[in-house]
């Protein structure tokens, strides 16, 4: 059995953590902790796969801290915890990085470069920073199995995704549609609504032209309908005008001309006008107008006024310009009116040749020319730039345009009610996300725009027959005659053809799928389900727990839910913890341009990972922003951890000094009030922490633990100090109690601050046999005893501490320092136990505490400030002791090292010293304590109260 050894204090947290990491590696602590739960009930966690083509940020540390603490907690509770890592590998972000490195920027250039090589670079790029991710994961103590991490580009993974798409296709929920979607002309692909939901996609105060245009009526000279738009480039594609049948319109005259607009929008007119007549929108229907341009051919029904329910009088003129292909409402209206829709703009965002005057111009560039042309032809009524919110491509920053094109969709709207129901069954932390952010999103659900006209992604497994248009969705490699493990990415997959029943050769559609579908498929695709691991997946779904940042609400959380609902009619997870954003000290978003990005490695090197973790758990409630800086972390969490460390260092020092060792006395109940009190506080804390953690509330649990640690240091230890230096039984009892408390605190904190907790636990429990691994992470989590009434001593101690506070304030007011003993204190209105009175007497440094009886709502305390000569001498002796101790330290003596003391002092002080001689000698380890008339050179001159004193200390060899 090895004894307890003193430790360094204060502790260097970052260095300690590096040591602990080494220990975990050597001992295989992570693996052992996994083995420990092998027989336990499963606890399923899904890791939201990051893309490793960029460096991790502090917000990743945040999410990982919350993941890790609940996994560690469940593991300590004996559950078998699944901790498989994963990497998201496909998608536009990856392509964009490669494009940058190749200094190219268009699909044509990629095609020229060669898709095979391009995708090969993508595959390499996506693991470029994987080492940094692994390093960070390890450094923050997030136990994750990265060796078996799934990757979304693996053939097995893709095959599972294909299988799922086939299921969806068979149910008729995977279809091709001509729809308007946000479209990035640079990436030349449309974006899904959850890509638009990425932070930063919408940008405020985007300038755009705001033009009000005359549409001249065919049958009424000098009369125009006024329409307003912020996208002049859509005007060449105009097919119709829309009005609200129930809206009130007016016809006004201005000079020679007549203008029609909504009555509520008269404010847009410039200059004098006269209202000539009022009319309902109904009366405008069917009016024919002259097209602004002649690029589009005439067709029945085109260039007329149509009724629409989306027309509002909030802005514009109440008459809406409708370009079939460049607005969702526009497209639907034109299709309902049976109009043929033709594009005026190509996939590259430039005008097609049929738009003769602007052909080849990018749409946004063309705006001023179009405005000028309208002005020249006197069709422009007014042009006034506006600022509004506008969407941009979340990866390449190009302004998006709304553009109709053929895309593949998943009919998520078909399962909307099931999604809402499953969402309601999920325990969200914080709770408001369920019906707020997520609920609202689901209420306004749209079909999922799944396809991407890009290169690096899971190929859409649909083969179409060019002759009979038959369409086949493939659900496995085998269906294609491919052997397992074949690379099925573009361009290889596009070579694979199928024989159609009609005899023609079916070819795959060119698109890949939204990479968000990949990550949403991880519950089954990570296991290559259903080709392998059927039982495993079925047992592991839905997950018990996931956690990601709030930006994933409409990202990964949604895709998980949507796919699980469509494929298995199940929610994908039962509990989800959603931390908010990490922002800088001033509360601003972190951005490279602002230069306020906090580097996670730098932060952790400065403060320690545990401090950062603890800070995340305790600084604010989940759901609020984290205003982070190294200084803030150190000042709160770092200080707290140091306090805990010092408390345990104190125990180690005195246990070592007394030769006390843990073991043997476990389970015995101590008798001293302070011991019983701190153990009751421990019990109370466990009873708070465990239910909180069961409810995924790390915040409350950590706060309760923090109060316990503070109670231990600032009250238990403060009042027990002398007992650690007293008689053997006293030392044993207090060491044993503090040992129990701190060992339990280490267990309680293990899920949150895994490094410090393990170091402290192992310092306190060095282990029975050499080589046998001892780690707090292999211990069970403390559990509350059966609920009972709150022990009375907790209330008594609360009262006692409040009374002590009052008494200290009284001393402060009278300027009587604590070291001056007083005769007594009187507590009125409460009966304290003799033990409690003793504790209070020691805290207040008074001879005795009286409780003359009686009960009061608010008990009070009084102090007897009368100083007797005896008390004064007592105070002098105490002051002398303090000076002696300081001197010992200055001379570099260690505790227990014996000395001989000689002093010269006046009679009054000498009397005080001789009166307390025995006590002084014991406290200061003085073999002798002699008064001299004169001292040789080298004596120290001190002052005790008003009395000068010279002292000489001599070493007496080493302590026994």
Residues that are catalytic:
49, 88, 516, 552, 556, 589, 592
Measured from the CB of residue 624, what is the shortest distance to RNA in angstroms?
A: 5
- Report d(CA 455, CA 510) in Å as an integer: 9
Q: How many CB atoms lie within 10 A of CB 913?
A: 22
What's the DSSP call for residue 338?
Answer: T
Measured from the CB of residue 621, what is the shortest distance to RNA in angstroms?
A: 4
CA 843 to chain centroid, in Å, comes to 44
Nearest CB to RNA, comparing residues 199 and 767: 199
N-terminal to C-terminal alpha carbon distance within the chain: 22
Q: Which of 583, 597, 591, 586 is nearest to 625 (CA)?
A: 583
Measured from the CB of residue 939, what is the shortest distance to RNA in angstroms?
A: 18
Measured from the CB of residue 161, what is the shortest distance to RNA in angstroms?
A: 24
Strand 202-208 and strand 386-391: the pairing is: antiparallel
Nearest CB to RNA, comparing residues 201 and 482: 201
DSSP 3-state assignment of 406?
strand
Measured from the CB of residue 172, what is the shortest distance to RNA in angstroms?
A: 25
- Report d(CA 550, CA 572) in Å as an integer: 17
Nearest CB to RNA, comparing residues 476 and 646: 646
Measured from the CB of residue 520, what is the shortest distance to RNA in angstroms?
A: 16
- Report d(CA 903, CA 148) in Å as an integer: 73
**Partner residues linked to 386 by β-bridges:** 208
Nearest CB to RNA, comparing residues 826 and 923: 923
* Residue found by looking up tokens 């083969």 in the block: 463
Nearest CB to RNA, comparing residues 474 and 583: 583
Nearest CB to RNA, comparing residues 18 and 329: 329
* Cβ 49 vs Cβ 90: under 8 Å: no
Q: Which of 750, 384, 418, 778 is nearest to 563 (CA)?
A: 418
* Cβ 571 vs Cβ 561: under 8 Å: yes
Beta-strand ranges (E) seen in 345-459 are 380-383, 386-391, 401-410, 427-429, 448-449, 451-452
Nearest CB to RNA, comparing residues 623 and 824: 623
Q: Give the sheet arrangement for strand 174-184, strand by strand.
A: 189-190, 174-184, 401-410, 448-449
Measured from the CB of residue 891, what is the shortest distance to RNA in angstroms?
A: 8
**Partner residues linked to 828 by β-bridges:** 860
- Report d(CA 608, CA 337) in Å as an integer: 66
Torsion of CA 775, 781, 784, 785, to 10 degrees: -60
- Any residues with CB less than 8 A from the CB of 251 and at least 6 apart, and which? 223, 258, 259, 260, 275, 276, 277, 278, 279
Packing angle of the helix pair 58-76, 29-36 (nearest 10 deg) = 50
Nearest CB to RNA, comparing residues 123 and 723: 723
- Report d(CA 203, CA 617) in Å as an integer: 32
Measured from the CB of residue 820, what is the shortest distance to RNA in angstroms?
A: 7
Side-chain-facing half-sphere of 541: CA atoms under 13 Å:
26
Nearest CB to RNA, comparing residues 394 and 408: 394
Q: Give the sheet arrangement for strand 211-216, strand by strand.
A: 274-280, 248-254, 257-262, 223-229, 211-216, 380-383
Nearest CB to RNA, comparing residues 498 and 830: 830
Measured from the CB of residue 343, what is the shortest distance to RNA in angstroms?
A: 22
Q: Residue 581, exposed/middle/buried by CB under 10 A (0-12, 13-18, 19+)?
A: middle
Q: What are phi and psi of 823, to 5 degrees?
A: -70, -45
Measured from the CB of residue 611, what is the shortest distance to RNA in angstroms?
A: 13
* Cβ 207 vs Cβ 383: under 8 Å: no
Nearest CB to RNA, comparing residues 193 and 950: 193
């Amino acid at each position: 059995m090895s004894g307890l050894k003193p430790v360094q204090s204060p502790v260097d947290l970052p260095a300690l953590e590096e040591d602990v990491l080494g220990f975990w590696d050597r001992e295989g602590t992570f693996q052992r902790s996994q083995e420990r739960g092998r027989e336990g009930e499963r606890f399923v966690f899904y890791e939201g796969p990051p893309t490793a083509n960029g460096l991790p940020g502090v917000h990743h540390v945040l999410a990982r801290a919350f993941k890790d603490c609940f996994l560690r907690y469940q593991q300590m509770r004996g559950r078998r915890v699944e901790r498989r890592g994963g990497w998201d590998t496909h998608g536009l972000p990856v392509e964009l990085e490669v494009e940058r490195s190749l200094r190219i920027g268009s699909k044509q250039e990629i095609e020229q470069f060669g898709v095979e090589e391009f995708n090969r670079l993508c595959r390499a790029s996506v693991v470029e920073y994987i080492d940094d991710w692994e390093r960070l994961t390890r450094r923050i103590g997030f136990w994750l199995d990265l060796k078996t991490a799934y990757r979304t580009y693996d053939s097995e993974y893709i095959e599972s995704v294909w299988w799922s798409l086939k299921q969806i296709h068979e149910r008729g929920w995977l279809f091709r549609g001509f729809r308007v979607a946000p479209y990035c002309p640079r990436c030349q692909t449309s974006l899904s609504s959850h890509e638009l939901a990425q932070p930063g996609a919408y940008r405020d105060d985007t300038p755009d032209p705001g033009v009000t245009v005359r549409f001249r009526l065919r049958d009424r000279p000098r009369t125009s309908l006024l329409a307003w738009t912020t996208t002049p480039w859509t005007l060449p594609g105009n097919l119709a005008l829309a009005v609200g049948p129930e809206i009130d319109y007016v016809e006004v005259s201005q000079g020679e001309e007549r203008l029609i607009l909504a009555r509520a929008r008269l404010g847009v007119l410039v200059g004098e006008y006269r209202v000539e007549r009022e009319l309902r929108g109904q009366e405008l229907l069917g009016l024919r107008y002259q097209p602004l341009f002649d690029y589009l051919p005439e067709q029945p029904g085109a260039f007329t006024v149509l009724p629409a329910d989306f027309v509002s009088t909030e802005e514009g003129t109440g008459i809406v310009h409708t370009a079939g292909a460049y607005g969702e409402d526009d497209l639907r209206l034109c299709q309902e009116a049976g109009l043929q829709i033709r594009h005026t703009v190509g996939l590259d965002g430039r005008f097609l040749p049929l738009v003769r005057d602007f052909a080849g111009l990018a749409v946004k560039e063309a705006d001023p020319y179009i405005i000028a042309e309208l002005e020249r032809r006197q069709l422009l009524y007014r042009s006034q730039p506006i600022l509004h919110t506008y969407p941009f491509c979340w990866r390449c920053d190009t302004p998006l345009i709304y553009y109709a094109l053929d895309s593949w969709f998943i009919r998520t709207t078909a399962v909307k009610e099931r999604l809402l129901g499953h969402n309601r069954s999920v325990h969200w932390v914080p709770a408001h996300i369920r019906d707020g952010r997520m609920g609202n999103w689901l209420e306004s659900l749209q079909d999922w725009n799944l396809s991407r006209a890009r290169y690096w992604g899971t190929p859409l497994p649909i083969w179409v027959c060019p002759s009979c248009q038959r369409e086949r969705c493939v659900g496995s490699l085998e269906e294609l005659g491919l052997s397992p493990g074949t690379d099925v990415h573009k361009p290889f997959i596009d070579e694979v053809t199928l024989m159609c029943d009609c005899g023609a050769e079916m070819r795959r559609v060119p698109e890949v799928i939204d990479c968000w579908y990949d990550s949403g498929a991880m519950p089954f695709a990570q296991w290559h389900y259903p080709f392998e691991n059927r039982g495993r997946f079925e047992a592991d779904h839905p997950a018990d727990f996931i956690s990601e940042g709030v930006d994933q609400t409409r990202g990964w959380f949604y895709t998980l839910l949507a796919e699980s609902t469509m494929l298995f009619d199940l929610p994908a997870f039962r509990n989800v913890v959603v931390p908010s954003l990490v922002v800088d000290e001033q509360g601003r978003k972190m951005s490279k341009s602002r230069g306020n990005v906090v580097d996670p490695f730098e932060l952790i090197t400065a403060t320690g990972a545990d401090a950062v973790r603890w800070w995340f758990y305790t600084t604010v409630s989940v759901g609020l922003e984290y205003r982070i800086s190294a200084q803030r972390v150190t000042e709160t969490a770092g200080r707290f951890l140091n306090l805990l460390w010092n408390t345990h260092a104190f125990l180690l020092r005195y246990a070592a000094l007394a030769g006390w060792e843990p073991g043997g006395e476990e389970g015995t109940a101590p008798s001293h009030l302070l011991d019983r009190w701190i153990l009751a506080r421990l019990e109370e804390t466990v009873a708070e922490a465990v239910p909180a953690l069961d409810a995924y509330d790390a915040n409350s649990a950590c706060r309760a633990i923090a109060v316990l640690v503070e109670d231990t240091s600032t009250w238990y230890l403060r009042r027990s100090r002398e007992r650690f230096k007293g008689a053997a039984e006293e030392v044993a009892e207090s060491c044993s109690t503090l040992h129990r408390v701190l060992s339990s605190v280490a267990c309680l904190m293990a899920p949150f601050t895994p490094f410090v907790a393990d170091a402290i636990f192992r310092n306190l429990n060095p282990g029975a046999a050499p080589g046998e691994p001892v780690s707090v992470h292999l211990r069970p989590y403390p559990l509350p005893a059966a609920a009972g009434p709150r022990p009375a001593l907790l209330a008594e101690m609360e009262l006692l501490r409040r009374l002590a506070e009052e008494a200290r304030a009284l001393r402060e007011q009278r300027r009587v320092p604590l070291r001056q003993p007083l005769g007594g204190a009187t507590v009125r209105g409460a009966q304290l136990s003799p033990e409690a009175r003793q504790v209070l007497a020691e805290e207040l440094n008074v001879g005795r505490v009286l409780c003359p009886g009686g009960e009061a709502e608010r008990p009070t305390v009084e102090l007897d400030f009368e100083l007797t000569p005896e008390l004064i001498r007592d105070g002098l002796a105490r002051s002398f002791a303090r000076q002696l101790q300081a001197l010992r330290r200055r001379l570099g003596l260690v505790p227990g090292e014996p000395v001989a003391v000689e002093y010269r002092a006046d009679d009054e002080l000498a009397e005080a010293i001789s009166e307390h001689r025995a006590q002084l000698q014991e406290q200061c380890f003085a073999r002798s304590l002699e008064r001299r008339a004169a001292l040789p050179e080298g004596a120290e001159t001190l002052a005790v109260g008003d009395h000068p004193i010279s002292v000489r200390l001599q070493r007496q060899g080493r302590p026994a």
